[in-house]
Chains A and B, each alone.
Chain A
Amino acid sequence: MRYLDEFRDPAIARKILAEIKAITSNPWVIMEICGGQTHSIIRNGIDQLLPKEIQLVHGPGCPVCVTPLELIDKAIQLASRRDIILTSFGDMLRVPGSEKDLFRVRSEGGDVRIVYSTLEALQVARDNPDREVVFFGVGFETTAPGTAMAVYQARREGVKNFSLLASHVLVPPAMKALLSSPANRVQAYLAAGHVCTVMGWKQYVPIVEEYKVPIVVTGFEPIDILEGILAVVRQLEAGEAKLENRYTRVVRDEGNIKAQEIMQAVFTTVDRKWRGIGCIDQSGLRLAKEYTQFDAEYKFAVSDIEVDEPEECIGGLVLQGLRKPTECEAFGTRCTPQTPLGATMVSSEGACAAYYNYQRIKVTR
């Protein structure tokens, strides 16, 4: 298939791997930001094929993983109400709240529906005028424009029974936060290609300049990732720190202007708590004043739930690149995708789930 097969070509992969091996002479710690990249790396066994000097650590780019527990509890509370239809992307249904998950709520009679787009959620609202429809939206700059569009449309059409329980977050503030941490080990970033599709890639210039780390915009197929790693290692070995775009078939300099405009129209930037990481300045999006009527937390007065989160799993450390999933004592025993201790074991983009699903037993040959 065009745009797929050529980025999985074994011969090209071998060539890039040989090049990486030839230029690597020092140990390097490289973080891929996006959980989609983490899964591609572990699923294709890219980590097994790299020189031992190169360590890939896995970043916070898993929307489900960084969504605060209290927000999941709020979704569960809303979904339990008989007058509400809660719509969400499928991933969120299995993430445990403090007492149950949304699948459980559904089996108890809650009306929880999986949608594939926010506009589909809006359609559910149009089709059910006598019920309240809440869209539970999480994610980065990739999903925020879709959410913004649904709210924008709802306001324009006067759809009054639609609202949003949302926790959209922004990638660059998190990248800065990780580099500012005294415990930081990350020496270079593979930036998340799809986020750059929306936001463009020049937004990383200040990070490269301030922290002197190479950042390479990288895609998701095996060849994309290998090319990103090669570009990063080349810079690291040469003592350089530049911003490069290695996902040019998808990412344009300016990004998607229309998507950026709708985000600016609907959202304002706020400080936001990231599950496992803590509060990061100006890293979240909240509905702007004129859209407050579409804010489910405000509409249904669920905004005061506070949850004490027991410290048990190391998902937060994994998301900061400080630990590997396999370094957790509970990994694969007390914590599995079926019995997750934390969101990193549940989400299809979670690092722990990637290791569990693809490499929990060493199968390297």
Chain B
Amino acid sequence: MNNDGKLSGSFSCPIPFTSSDTIQPGHGGGGRMSRDLISDLFVRVFDNTELSRGDDQATITIGDQKLAFTTDSYVVDPIFFPGGDIGELAVNGTVNDLCTSGAQPLFLSAGFVLEEGLPLEELSKIVESMKRAADRAGVSIVTGDTKVVNKGSADKLFINTAGIGILDHDYDISCRNVRAGDIIIISGTIADHGIAILSRREGLSFTGTIRSDTAPLHEISRLLMETAGGGLHAMRDPTRGGVAATLNELAQSSEVEFRIYEEHIPVHPAVTGACEMLGLDPLHVANEGKMVICVTPEKAEQVLAALKTHPLGKDAAIIGEVFDEKPGLVSMRTRIGGWRIIDLPAGELLPRIC
């Protein structure tokens, strides 16, 4: 306030930082910064049809055989967390990226970057956990690589897995195939993984009951294809960036509008509480064993009923519908009846969650 009692109306505005010339944590956050980095650098430079499709896996044809092929790296901190560990995550994550195309996952590779000083006992536990996860998903880890770096050059260990699976169906299941009229289904409660990771960090122990949802979705994807057939238009597992990022990607790729209804979205009460306390939107928090499904309205109830018969789908719910009015927009009717945009998270929400 000035001496004469008037408020000085000017606001301080530095020159905005429109772009960054170095990699920031947000580039790995699964939100807008990640998306821009992928499209502006990798897709542009590598420049091929398969990559440009923007799915979580490439579909390729060798001879008469259609294959799905994918890769993912895992840098989660801590490496052991409630409900799982980095090894289980590395298998399930890659299996799920294959499943979302409707492929049957078969073979995985595993590359390890190990930090000098990592206790062998911890590594053994993780490797055994990977074996159990692979058995559960019906895949074999058939090739691999090991590198050791100096202390401080990695944090305990990083894992890369790649996976290959057979596409034995002719359905068009892809992020570009969602249509107006489709019903949006989620296979269970959201945000469990991100909050479980957070609960182990920085001494936050109030979320004791929340466990990561890490799980292979191969049975869920089979179940969906058997139940809906060609009525199944898209499946996607919402990991980094949460359900919000997945819905935005689907709405943009398919050029349709998504409307969801807050009161129908399943969230564990402890997760709701934790998100409130931390100022996080559960729609932005990562999952590791959930599926977002877009299905023709005629098949929606059948799909929901089928999901509920499976342990990984018991909390499944219809959360919204697809329209064609405002392509690319995702909006939500709030519990009290207002409407708001559901956006991609801008950058880093929580670092190194998977």
Contacts and interface: CB of A to CB of B under 8 A. Distances in A.
Interface of A: 1, 4, 8-10, 13-14, 42-49, 68-69, 94, 96-101, 103-104, 107-108, 115-116, 120, 177-178, 180-183, 222, 275-281, 307, 309-320, 322, 334-335, 337-342, 344, 348, 357-361, 363-365
A278 B1 contact: yes
Contacts of B341: 357-361, 363
A48 B335 contact: no
A311 B14 CA distance: 9
A279 B8 CA distance: 9
A318 B10 CA distance: 11
A363 B340 contact: yes
Interface in B24-62: 24-26, 32-33
Contacts of B187: none
Given A45-B334, A45-B340, A311 B13 contact: yes
A108 B23 CA distance: 10
A280 B22 CA distance: 39
Contact of A177 (B1, B20, B23, B276): B1
Contacts of B273: 1, 4
Nearest to B280: A348
A120 B202 contact: yes
Contacts of A337: 346
B337 A43 contact: no
B155 to A, nearest CB: 15
Interface string B11-24: 11111111010111
B347 to A, nearest CB: 7
A342 B7 contact: no
Pairs A-B, 9 closest by C-beta atoms: A45-B338, A309-B12, A316-B11, A312-B13, A276-B11, A358-B340, A278-B8, A13-B336, A315-B11
A243 to B, nearest CB: 24
Of the candidates B6, B14, B331, the one having the most CB atoms from chain A within 10 angstroms of its own CB is B14
Contact of B25 (A101, A103, A177, A342): A103
B343 interface: yes
Contact of B7 (A13, A181, A344): A181
Interface of chain B, main secondary structure: loop
Interface residues of B, number: 49
A341 B343 CA distance: 20
A310 B336 contact: no
Of the candidates B7, B11, B22, B346, the one having the most CB atoms from chain A within 10 angstroms of its own CB is B11
Contacts of B17: 96, 100-101, 104, 339
A348 to B, nearest CB: 6
Contact of A44 (B32, B204, B338): B338
A48 B13 contact: no
B13 A310 contact: yes
A99 B14 contact: yes
Contacts of A365: 333, 339
A320 B1 CA distance: 12
A45 B339 contact: yes
A311 B20 CA distance: 24
A275 B272 CA distance: 34
B119 interface: no
Contacts of A183: 6-7, 9
Given A279-B1, A314-B11, A340-B16, 6 more contacts: A46-B338, A98-B14, A103-B24, A341-B13, A361-B326, A363-B331
B269 interface: yes
B313 to A, nearest CB: 23
B11 A278 contact: no
Contacts of A309: 10-14
Nearest to B32: A338
A107 B24 contact: yes
Contacts of B269: 1, 4
Given A103-B24, A358-B341, A276 B5 contact: no
Given A103-B24, A177-B7, A348 B279 contact: yes
Contacts of B340: 42-45, 358-359, 363
Of the candidates B2, B22, B33, B336, the one having the most CB atoms from chain A within 10 angstroms of its own CB is B336
A278 B16 contact: no
A116 B204 contact: yes
A342 B13 contact: yes
Contacts of A14: 336-337
B203 interface: yes
A234 B268 CA distance: 38
Nearest to A70: B12
9 contacts: A8-B335, A43-B334, A45-B337, A49-B338, A96-B16, A178-B7, A310-B15, A313-B13, A342-B12
A49 B336 contact: yes
A361 B329 contact: yes
A359 B343 CA distance: 10
Contacts of A96: 14, 16-17
B168 interface: no
A68 B25 CA distance: 25
A8 B202 CA distance: 30
Contacts of A97: 14
Given A310-B13, A316-B9, A280 B1 contact: yes
Contacts of B1: 177, 180-181, 277-281
B16 A341 contact: yes
Contact of A13 (B337, B346, B347): B337
Of the candidates A178, A335, A359, the one having the most CB atoms from chain B within 10 angstroms of its own CB is A359
A337 B333 CA distance: 23
B226 interface: no
Nearest to A68: B12
